[in-house]
Each structure stands twice: as C-alpha cells, then as structure tokens.
Amino acid sequence: MTNLTDAPVLRIEQRSSQLEYLISDGTGAELGRAVQVAGPAPRKGLLGLAGSGLGDARVVLQVSGTDGAPLFYVDRKGGCPVAIVGSGGDVIGRFVGDVAGTSRAKVDSSRFGLPGAGLVHRLWDARDRPVGEVAWKVKTAQAATALEVLGGVCVDMDGTRTAEIEVQERKFKDRYTLRIPPGLPGPPEPLRTLVRAVPLALDLTRS
C-alpha cells in the first residue's frame, strides 16, 4: 500500500485560510494531513485578505498519515531556517534561504535545468550540512511587490534531480504537486523526508 513516505507523487492542498492541508497521491487517494499544532492561527475571512497576520511568530505543522500518527513536523519562525523535526523530537534537517544560490540561479538557471529560476533554498541535515538544493521558477506578482512561485526542482549536492514541484499559489488554498522522477527510488534519508517537506516549508515561509 502506498503511503506518504514512499508515494512517487504527493498532492498537497491547503483547505482554507487556516494552516490545514490534505495530502493525496497521484490518483487523489488520501495519504495524510498536515495541521497546525502550535502558534497563532492565521486571520480568517475578509481579514485574511490583508495577510495572514502571522508575522515572525513561530508556527508548527504536524504531518500525519491516514492513521493519525505523526510522521514529522515543520517548524517555522521568522528569520530562522525552517526545521523539519521527526515524530520523536529529533531534528531531521532544515529548509534554508540561500542568498548566494539565489543570485547564481538568476544568472545560471541552467544548473537546475529550470529556465526562469530566481529563488533558491538549501536543505541541510541535522548537523547543518548541505544535502540538497531547491530552485524555484518565479515571476513578479501583479502587485509588483512580491514574487509568485510557479514551480521548482530539488537536486542533491551532486546535481541529480530528486523531485519536481508544481505550485499553484492563491490568496487561500495553495496547491502543490511533488513528483519523484520516474525510475528513481527517491533520495536516501534525510533528503527523502526533507524533499517531501519542501512544499509545506515553502508555504510557511510565504504565510
């Protein structure tokens, strides 16, 4: 039976203005959910149109399988790397903004095989060693004050593509589709879990 940790396709859909997500496979079968378990709740209704109101507050998501048992947590606080934490409380790794990589992507997006790449994050292991990178294709949003993320690719430190991500950003109910390239078993741990946490980590940094 396919589960959240080995499915070749993950679809992650925010259910409302709140930090609640349904996770399914490529056929639409539910694999799990992600829900907020710490931090202030985002604004609701019309107030949410002016932004989530979360600012730099610490926010934690719990990612669980269909049985409700936690698999890992995504822990974000403004100004800090997003921590990916195991169900037992041990840090698996971190999702980190990469200023140097972002500058490189703007001038050499061919490194990632992603024309239009303009934003880069690094994936660190629990000892803060780089184990992967994520390059995002972006465009200037209509308000011209922010970047709209269109999609991305994950690579290991050898440049091997480990996942592709489609992004549909909306005012509420963002959607992400993560695909492991055909023929690949997926990266080893900790990169395997970190890659699957990337869409949620990105969503929290933009909430």
pLDDT given for residue 145 in this prediction: 57
* Contact criterion met (CB below 8 Å) for 171 and 161: no
Contact assessment for residue 205 and residue 191, using Cβ atoms and an 8 Å cutoff? no
Domain span including residue 157: 9-205
Structure tokens that stand for 193 in this block: 């879990």
Tokens 């990469």 locate to 98
- The pLDDT of residue 47 is 44
Give the CATH number for residue 15: 2.40.160
* CB-count burial class (<10 Å; 0-12, 13-18, 19+) for 102: middle
Q: Is residue 102 one of the residues assigned to a domain?
A: yes
Q: Which residue has the tokens 């589709």?
A: 177
d(CA 53, CA 14): 17
pLDDT value, residue 173:
82
* 86-135-192 Cα angle (round to 5): 30
- Sign of the dihedral defined by the CA atoms of residues 37, 39, 45, 51, in that order: negative
Specify the pLDDT at position 130: 95
Q: Report yes or no on 22 lying in a domain.
A: yes
pLDDT for res 105: 61
Question: Measured between alpha carbons, how far is 180 from 195 in angstroms, rounded to an integer?
Answer: 10
* pLDDT value of position 17: 78
Identify the segments of the chain with pLDDT beneath 70. 1-2, 43-53, 99-117, 141-146, 171, 183-186
Give the whole-angstrom CA distance, residue 29 versus residue 9: 11
> Minimal CA–CA distance to 83: which of 71, 99, 95?
95
- From CA 14, how far away is CA 23, in angstroms rounded? 9
The answer to whether residue 132 is domain-embedded is yes
**201/183 Cα distance (integer angstroms):** 26
Q: What's the pLDDT at 49?
A: 46
Whole-number Å distance between alpha carbons of 184 and 154: 13
* Residue 3 belongs to a domain: no
- The pLDDT score that the predictor gives to residue 148 is 83
pTM for the complete prediction? Answer: 0.86
What ranges make up the beta strands (E) of 98-180?
117-125, 130-140, 147-156, 161-168, 175-179
Residue 154 is assigned to a structural domain of this protein: yes
| CA–CA gap between residue 32 and residue 176 (Å, rounded) | 14
Q: For residue 4, is it within any domain? A: no
**How many independent structural domains does the chain possess?**
1
For residue 1, is it within any domain? no
pLDDT at 5: 85
d(CA 112, CA 188): 20
Q: Assess if residue 2 is contained within a domain.
A: no
* CA–CA distance, 133 with 181 (Å, rounded to integer): 16
pLDDT for the residue 102: 64
